[in-house]
């Protein structure tokens, strides 16, 4: 959401205010550790329920590493706006119909937070590719030049040629009832910001930081992958913990350790997943039929979860996959699973947190991952499933598509091919490129790496900004 800061004798105090959603909260906590390791003071402003998700991580960073990270809690007025009790994050919102009330409640926090009167930096939680794409579509409106929602058009002023259809555009381009004024306030706040922090690294998106900085006429700093600031197992396990632990660290590690290297497919469709039971059942059947070891994290609405649990029990699904697969209902330790040597693939909704974490640990937003980086495989979804549209759209991916994608991504037979063997060569090139990106990602955050250097530039730019502001 925003990052604000003040200065005292060249020791900066950063105030981090994450948007109330896992995709923002998790990397912002990582960013707090990165900034504090540079000798800065950091304060994270959050609501009580959201703070409970990361307080253990912050306390460890303070007690064991001496980092100066503080947590300030602002209660959200959920009663005043008829929200369910303790509904303080988008992933706890029972229905899309409550979205406007949620943002109105969040809006009540604006006045006390802005009383700081200090420079603002924006953190979107997206990659630069996505940010630049959205900016250029907003600016040039190429989507209005085509005659149908399925006709492809090129996005102008991109380092790579990218084609997309109107139906594939992100939610910001879709009409959302009673939310236009909220979006306008967000855009206005962003326009007043000093710059933008991006959870990515130069080598992953070459040319995109420069192109985006030129497009928005602001500073842009790549500081990621921020997840790599967690170098201990306990921090990897706790990262993003929503206090509803569905599997223990011991149980998870026991399964991971029992499998061959790079054999497990990790399946997680994000914290906001609300897919209908029939679609999740198709996914489960595809995982079973593939014959590949897997860890499947299931999350959906409570009414859907009841239906899905009945199916799992009736079909004895977990008994059928015992020894080869694990079903996790609710939160899972994603960073720990992805970092384990037995995990070799990731079936994801392509949220940026998941994509960048997959890259860090040697795997792999769809156009970037599949067409530009060429490290992922499409599973067959032709249009995005937006929050609230799950039941209307129904089943979009059948089990045979799941099986086919898993075979292409994970099939061991492909590993025995060579670069001249067509599809086998394609598999090997993708696997090698993923492993190369994983190595480069780690180098980026090391001393004198591209992202580590960008953090230093960020601090220096802020100091210069504050010095100029004082003179004015």
Sheet with 294-298, strands from edge to edge, namely 325-329, 294-298, 264-268, 343-348
Domain co-membership, 138 together with 53: yes
Domain co-membership, 196 together with 218: yes
pLDDT at 466 over 80: yes
Does residue 239 lie within any of the structural domains? no
Element (H, E) at 326: strand 325-329
**What phi and psi values does residue 293 have, to the nearest 5 degrees?**
-60, 145
Does residue 238 lie within any of the structural domains? no
**Distance (Å, whole) CA 29 – CA 226:** 9
Question: What residues make up the domain containing 304?
Answer: 244-444
Domain co-membership, 252 together with 401: yes
Q: Please name which of 71, 32, 70, 80 lies closest in space to residue 49, comparing C-alpha atoms.
A: 71
Rounded to an integer, the average pLDDT of 113-142 is: 87
**What phi and psi values does residue 13 have, to the nearest 5 degrees?**
-120, 105
Domain co-membership, 263 together with 131: no
Does residue 63 lie within any of the structural domains? yes
pLDDT at 271 over 80: no
Helices in 192-238 by DSSP H: which ranges? 208-216, 233-238
Do 336 and 268 meet the contact criterion of CB atoms below 8 Å apart?
A: no
Domain co-membership, 422 together with 330: yes
The pair of structure tokens assigned to 230 is 């967690």
**Cis bond leading into 225, ω under 30°?**
yes
Do 160 and 372 meet the contact criterion of CB atoms below 8 Å apart?
A: yes
Domain co-membership, 411 together with 451: no
Q: Which of 118-132, 204-218, 258-272, 344-358 has the lowest mean pLDDT?
A: 344-358
Q: Which of 168-172, 311-315, 361-365 has the lowest mean pLDDT?
A: 361-365
Domain co-membership, 368 together with 453: no
Does residue 254 lie within any of the structural domains? yes
Domain co-membership, 203 together with 263: no
Identify the three-state secondary structure at position 189.
Answer: helix
Mean pLDDT score of the chain: 83
The pair of structure tokens assigned to 107 is 């809006």
Does residue 232 lie within any of the structural domains? no
pLDDT at 375 over 70: no
Domain co-membership, 35 together with 149: yes
In the chain, % of residues over pLDDT 70: 83
Domain co-membership, 455 together with 318: no
pLDDT at 137 over 70: yes
Count of domains observed in the chain: 2
Domain co-membership, 96 together with 200: yes
Does residue 198 lie within any of the structural domains? yes
pLDDT at 86 over 60: yes
Helices in 168-207 by DSSP H: which ranges? 180-191
Helices in 69-154 by DSSP H: which ranges? 99-107, 110-114, 128-140
Dihedral (CA of 347, 387, 239, 280) sign: negative
User: Tokens 């730019």, residue?
Assistant: 461
Rounded to an integer, the average pLDDT of 72-88 is: 87
How many angstroms separate the Cα of 355 from the Cα of each of 140, 287, 360?
A: 27, 20, 9
pLDDT at 276 over 70: yes
Domain co-membership, 369 together with 404: yes
* Cα angle for residues 162, 163, 168 (degrees, 5° grid): 115
**Distance (Å, whole) CA 77 – CA 86:** 10
**Distance (Å, whole) CA 158 – CA 99:** 33
The whole-number pLDDT of residue 38 equals 95
What is the pTM assigned to this prediction?
0.85
Does residue 93 lie within any of the structural domains? yes
For the stretch 289-316, pLDDT in tens is 999 999 999 887 777 888 999 999 999 9
**Distance (Å, whole) CA 195 – CA 232:** 31
Say which CATH number the domain at 310 has.
Answer: 3.40.50.2000
Does residue 234 lie within any of the structural domains? no
């Amino acid at each position: 959401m925003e990052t604000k800061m003040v200065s005292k004798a060249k020791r900066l105090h950063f105030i981090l205010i994450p948007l109330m959603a896992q995709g923002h909260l998790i990397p912002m906590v990582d960013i707090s550790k990165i900034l504090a390791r540079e000798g800065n003071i950091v304060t994270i402003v959050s609501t009580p329920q959201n703070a409970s998700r990361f307080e253990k991580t912050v306390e460890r960073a303070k007690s064991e590493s001496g980092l100066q990270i503080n947590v300030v809690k602002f209660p959200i007025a959920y009663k005043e706006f008829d929200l369910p009790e303790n509904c303080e994050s988008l992933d706890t919102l029972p229905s899309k119909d409550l979205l406007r009330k949620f943002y109105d409640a969040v809006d009540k926090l604006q006045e006390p937070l802005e009383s700081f009167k200090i420079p603002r930096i924006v953190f979107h939680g997206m990659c630069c590719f996505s940010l630049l794409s959205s900016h250029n579509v907003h600016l040039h409106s190429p989507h209005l030049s085509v005659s149908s929602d399925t006709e492809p058009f090129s996005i102008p002023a991109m380092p790579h040629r990218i084609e997309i259809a109107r139906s594939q555009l992100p939610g910001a381009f879709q009409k959302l009832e009673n939310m236009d004024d909220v979006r306008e306030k967000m855009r206005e706040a962003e326009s007043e910001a000093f710059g933008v922090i991006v959870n990515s690294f130069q080598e992953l998106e070459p040319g995109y930081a420069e192109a985006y900085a030129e497009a928005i006429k602001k500073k842009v700093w790549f500081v990621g992958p921020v997840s790599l600031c967690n170098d201990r197992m306990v921090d990897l396990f706790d990262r993003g913990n929503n206090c509803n632990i569905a599997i223990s660290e011991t149980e998870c590690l026991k399964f991971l350790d029992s499998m061959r290297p790079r054999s497990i497919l990790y399946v997680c469709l994000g914290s906001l997943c609300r897919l209908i039971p029939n679609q999740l059942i198709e996914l489960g059947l595809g995982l079973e039929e593939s014959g590949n070891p897997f860890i499947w994290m299931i999350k959906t609405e409570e009414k859907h979860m009841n239906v899905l649990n009945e199916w799992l029990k009736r079909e004895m699904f977990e008994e059928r996959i015992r020894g080869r697969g694990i079903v996790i209902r609710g939160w899972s330790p994603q960073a720990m699973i992805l970092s384990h040597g037995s995990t070799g693939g990731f079936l994801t909704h392509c949220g940026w947190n998941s994509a960048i974490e997959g890259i860090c640990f040697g795997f792999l937003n769809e156009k970037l991952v599949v067409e530009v980086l060429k490290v992922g495989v499409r599973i067959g979804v032709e249009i995005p499933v937006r929050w609230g549209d799950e039941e209307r759209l129904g089943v979009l991916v059948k089990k045979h598509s799941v099986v086919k994608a898993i075979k292409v991504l994970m099939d061991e037979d492909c590993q025995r091919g060579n670069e001249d063997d067509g599809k086998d060569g394609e598999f090997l090139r993708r696997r090698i490129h993923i492993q190369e990106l994983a190595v480069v990602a780690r180098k980026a955050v090391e001393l004198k790496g591209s992202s580590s250097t960008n953090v230093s530039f960020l601090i220096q730019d802020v100091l210069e900004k504050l010095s100029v502001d004082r003179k004015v």
